[in-house]
Structure 1
């Protein structure tokens, strides 16, 4: 990313960060921006206002939904995101959720009906068919309204799910549960409340998730039968979404993601001193502690400080971070934590290429993920990670696991070279390791015993 006093831009490659990923990020952060795409000699432009697509144009002078359809079919090329732009008049009539849903449905049909067709040809065909398809869909809806006193809920309607999320907010619930064949249920302080609607029908959850997931999330769901992401609704707010197969039936759980970030001062005077770590240009900071000890909360407080006080570009990889970070300063890229986003060709690489100031991983689950974090720290980026450890010396066991991997000795040396600090938090206590050169040298040589006495 290059930044000046009057403009802010992010550059990237569609192979690493698709137009769906870009849209998902801008929707969640409700940003206003121009996304410019170049694919060979082809160019396309998509304008966002408050996270919603309102205008699209390509160099064939197609506009609105037709242009958006062509652009969303492009799988390769480069992109630029400009945040300092004047937004033109709206020419995209569909709301963004339904536009993405229509694109996804057309992609599925093109893959079934036109195997071997290029992305560009598929986009052109979808755009040409869009007006007729949309008119047919509207006619079907009008016919349904005319024949039924109460029209059935559109099985793929994002708006229909937003109504359920509004009910979750109205009841001050902690979670919304959706399962095929069952009526929606909301967990409240008093217990479960069943929403008086028809049961979730065949295809409803799948259609909704297809419009919601990025390519990497869809791939993870197919491979692991579960995945997590975030969803931002203009009406209902932001939610953490966990989708999974329950006895072969698609299910998902929504949890409000609007918790206020705790101030750094809440963790005591020792925590406020951690602000200095955010000024580090590169290296690895590890937040350790037992389950429920406060690692996630402390990490959120540090990231919020980085956004507000240091105007940083932050990339957050997490399954559990549901805080509502500031949108007034800096910029945050959120991605679910999984083996696809943390892979060499995944979102982590994109964050590095974008020039992220801080990469945060909550939480590092195994030696492979720790090695990936170390590699990012050695790219000249400040990396903050959380590790679930009962005591800071237990880090020695994680390093032995890292050392046992292929190329592990080199990884341990890279770890020792990049390590800035280890912060162990077990509220209300917070302790810092503050490693010196002697400790780093011992770690590089595989002498982990000193961690037990540090």
Structure 2
């Protein structure tokens, strides 16, 4: 069997973001969004299962056998942390492993302008990080937590499924709660967090109606909440939050969101001009008085028109961000053209 440490060491050396493991193929690496084959031999059914199970605790194996899929995470000294999803495909065990670096990069090194730190000075409300899967949202939100940790005394509680980056207490006290070992579900953790005297909540994803409702309640009660959502633009995120609810409840949710929402970051990673990996491109929306009023009405078309106008002080459109990268020689004309043609999921 392939030693798991050897496999993951090779993946990190090649700067892979993910490792894909399945039968009749060698392990595959995802590097800058592209799939490449490792030099290992193709895996048989039993060898594939044994390799994957070597990354799970006995309890997680038991859970997988019962539910046919499971999320987990683990760490290796001097190598990093790894988040994995184990599942069946065509009757055999398969796995996707996400590589999480040991070091949490700061926001500047990720490529964010200083305005993003203004979000983190808020004492209450909701800050959303959106964008396609695999484009760095988890890293961004971990960097935001670390920025608070370095700059002010706060009680921070994270709710994760599973834990990716691990934080050490600095100026803040950080509790990291993982679904499974620490709580039955993200929703249950959210319902109880209001009694835990916390200042900042980090929720790894807002994905369903009940969770969104609890997030808005917590924001109203004076806590700062950082969370992620799969959305192609800021307007899309606002629309999804409102329209996930039954029509009879949308006016109430639009009103709550207009009060709670402090800012939205919509991000993607796009190819560098020099071919050396990908670089951050993002839209940054600071919620101003006019936008709050439009959100309150629930009129998504008017929200989109206002966001497209680019008149908000401190906000940065995706188009402007990519144009700046182009002027600095970081991305090529192809990236600029694709943005104009809305080939990056119509983020603007």
Which category of TM-score, normalised to the shorter sequence, fits these structures? Answer: 0.5 to 0.7
Matches within 5 A, 1:214-229: 218=63, 222-223=66-67, 225-229=68-72
The residue number in structure 1 matching 2:225 is 383
Question: Are the equivalent residues in 1 in contact too, given 2:81–2:165 (CA < 8 A)?
Answer: no
Cα deviation for residue 242 of structure 1 reads: 1.4
Q: Distance in 1 between matches of 2:127 and 2:205?
A: 13
1:192 aligns with 2:45: no
Secondary structure at the aligned position of 2:114 is classed as helix
Q: CA deviation at 1:164?
A: 1.7
| Contact 1:187-1:193 within 8 A present in 2 as well | no
RMSD (CA atoms): 4.3
C-alpha distance after superposition, 1:141-175 (max 9, x if no partner): xxxxxxxxxxxx9xxxxxxx9x5225421563645
Q: Number of residues paired by the alignment? A: 284
Question: Counterpart in 1 of 2:325?
Answer: none
Secondary structure, counterpart of 1:193 in structure 2 = coil
Give the Cα separation in 2 of the matches to 1:395 and 1:235.
Answer: 37
Taking the aligned partners of 2:132 and 2:27, their CA distance within structure 1 comes to: 32
Deviation string 1:103-156 (CA, Å, 9 cap, x unpaired) is xxxxxxxxxxxxxxxxxxxxxxxxxxxxxxxxxxxxxxxxxxxxxxxxxx9xxx
Secondary structure of 1:305 counterpart = helix
Alignment partner of 1:261 is 2:107? no
> How far is 1:412 from its partner?
2.9
1:10-409 equivalences in 2 (<5 Å): 164-169=4-9, 172=13, 174=16, 185=27, 187=29, 191-194=37-40, 199-200=46-47, 209-211=56-58, 213=60, 218=63, 222-223=66-67, 225-234=68-77, 237-258=80-101, 260-266=103-109, 271-289=113-131, 295-317=137-159, 322-323=164-165, 325-326=167-168, 330=172, 331-335=174-178, 341-343=185-187, 345=188, 347-404=189-246, 407-409=249-251
Question: What is the TM-score when the length of structure 2 is the normalising length?
Answer: 0.62
Gaps of 5+ in 2: 269-279, 308-348
CA–CA distance in structure 2, aligned partners of residues 420 and 340 of structure 1: 29
Change (3 A) 1:195 1:367: same
Gapped runs of 5+ residues in structure 1? 1-152, 154-160
- Measure the CA separation in 2 of the matches of 1:206 and 1:291: 25
Deviation at 1:319, TM superposition (A): 6.2
- Contact persistence 1:178–1:200 (CA under 8 A): no
CA distance in 2, matches of 1:341, 1:292: 23
How far does the alpha carbon of each residue in 1:60-99 deviate from its partner, in whole angstroms, 9 at most, with x for none?
xxxxxxxxxxxxxxxxxxxxxxxxxxxxxxxxxxxxxxxx
CA distance, structure 2, for counterparts of residue 276 and residue 433 of structure 1 = 9
Shift of 1:333: 0.7
Distance change (3 Å), C-alpha of 1:404 and 1:386: same
Q: Which structure has the greater CA radius of gyration? A: 1
Partners of 1:439 and 1:450 within 8 A in 2: no
* C-alpha contact (below 8 Å) 2:49/2:94 kept by paired residues: no
CA deviation digits over 1:294-331, x for unaligned, max 9? 54443232122012222444344456984464565542
CA contact (8 A) 2:124 2:225 kept: yes
Flag the 1:340–1:412 CA change in 2: closer, same or farther, 3 A.
farther
2:288 alignment partner in structure 1: 435
Give the match's secondary structure for 2:222: coil
Evaluate the alpha carbon distance shift between residue 178 and residue 388 of structure 1 in structure 2; reply closer, same or farther with a 3 A threshold. closer
CA contact (8 A) 1:342 1:372 kept: no
Distance 1:188 1:408, change over 3 A: closer
Distance 1:202 1:293, change over 3 A: closer
Could you tell me the TM-score, scaled by structure 1's length? 0.50
